[in-house]
Amino acid sequence: MSNPFRTVALVGRYQSEGVAGSLAEIAAFLRERAISVLVEAGTAEAIGRTDLGHVTIDEIGRHADLTVAVGGDGTMLGVARHLARYGVPVVGINHGRLGFVTDIPLSQWRDALGRILEGDYTAEDRTQLTTRVLRGAEEVWNQVAMNDVVVSRSSRAGMIELQVHVDGVYMYNQRADGLIIATPTGSTAYALSASGPILHPRLAGLVLVPVAPQALSNRPIALPDDARIHITVVEGREPRVAGDMQVFSDLHVGDDIIVERGPHRARFLHPPGYTYFGTLRGKLNWHELPILSRT
């Protein structure tokens, strides 16, 4: 089978020990197969390999057929956020800790990546969120998120009060530490730790999860993924909004936060044998039997 990927880009979490060596090995592996290699500029500079054709993330989007992210889930999500609009698929090699979306173990990358390069893979498209912050008539922040959008209080302040409308219909006023709007991808991240449900990636849904709400009857709710969620900051000191817990903006009382499904979907490629349920079993330890205490 001919290789469908002629140009492959590499992006790495270069702060982590050992990533430079892994990236160099992967680059050599690709070149042995006559594949052109591009390396994201910050990654190339950090690992001292500017000879490898360093380019910006947008140039990767315009020229690469595939991107390999080496790091943790944060690395993978950051790459996917930028490349979704270009339609470039992303493969994740786990050089971090948990690795929900970087599903190829570092010890198995040669076999897994080789199979993918031969066209033997499973493709999965993941929903993104777009978020706009309006301060009166002015748009002061606009970001894309793969996992979630979180409106929260400062660590130095008390609860915030948020008013929530869905598709123009008033839903509630929520007093809490924060509110999470998560995609199916993000349902296993912060939303899960706040007792939200797990959404399978093929579900066309979002989940709205309060963080430590004052009213214990305020529970997580699943919404259709084409819902338009409008949040207004009613009260609170030093509120802020975050996308994927990687990009942040301070908020003011009275700000409006509009969260909607993004126009593009990120494409993840998985090696043969990948299953979402296998990932859940492995990462959430579902395969372990409970330990029963003896009295």
Residues 90 and 157 in one domain: no
- For the cut 60, the answer to whether the pLDDT of residue 1 exceeds it is no
Are residues 154 and 103 both part of a single domain? no
Q: What is the mean pLDDT of residues 184-204?
A: 95
Same domain, yes or no, for 11 and 84? yes
State the average pLDDT over residues 263-287. Answer: 90
Would 291 be classed as within a structural domain? no
Q: Is residue 1 part of a domain?
A: no
Residue 17 lies in a domain: yes
- Calpha distance 193→293 (Å, rounded): 25
On whether both 183 and 222 belong to a single domain, the answer is yes
242 and 212 part of one domain: yes
Catalytic, out of 73, 103, 148, 255: 73
Q: Are residues 40 and 91 in the same domain?
A: yes
SS (H, E, C) the chain: CCCCCCEEEEEECCCCCCHHHHHHHHHHHHHHCCCEEEEEHHHHHHCCCHHHCEECHHHHHHHCCEEEEEECHHHHHHHHHHHHHHCCCEEEEECCCCCCCCCEEHHHHHHHHHHHHCCCCEEEEEEEEEEEEEECCEEEEEEEECCEEEEECCCCCCCEEEEEEECCEEEEEEEECEEEEECCHHHHCHHHHCCCCCCCCCCCEEEEEEECCCCCCCCCEEEECCCCEEEEEEECCCCEEEECCCEEEECCCCCEEEEEEEEEEEEEEECCCCCHHHHHHHHHCCCCCCCCCCC
Percent above pLDDT 70 for the chain: 94
Q: What is the pTM of this model?
A: 0.91
What is the rounded average pLDDT of the residues 115-142? 96
Domain that holds residue 89: 7-121+271-284
Structure tokens at 87: 């339609």
Residue 295 lies in a domain: no
Report the CATH number at residue 68. Answer: 3.40.50.10330
Number of domains, the chain: 2
Specify the residue for token string 């296993």: 188
Q: 158 and 245 share a domain? A: yes
Same domain, 101 and 138: no
Do 141 and 246 fall within a single domain?
Answer: yes
**Per-residue pLDDT tens over the stretch 129-176:** 999 999 999 999 999 999 999 999 987 778 999 999 999 999 999 999
For the question of residue 255 being annotated catalytic, the response is no
Same domain, 135 and 117: no
Is 238 a member of any domain?
A: yes
169 lies in the same domain as 257: yes
Strands 205-211 and 66-71: unpaired
CATH number of the domain where residue 251 is located:
2.60.200.30
pLDDT, position 13: 75
Residue 22 domain-assigned (yes or no) = yes
SS3 at position 172: strand
pLDDT band at 289 (very low <50, low <70, confident <90, very high): low
> Within a domain: residue 293?
no
- As a whole number, mean pLDDT of residues 33-52 equals 86
Q: What is the mean pLDDT of residues 40-69?
A: 89
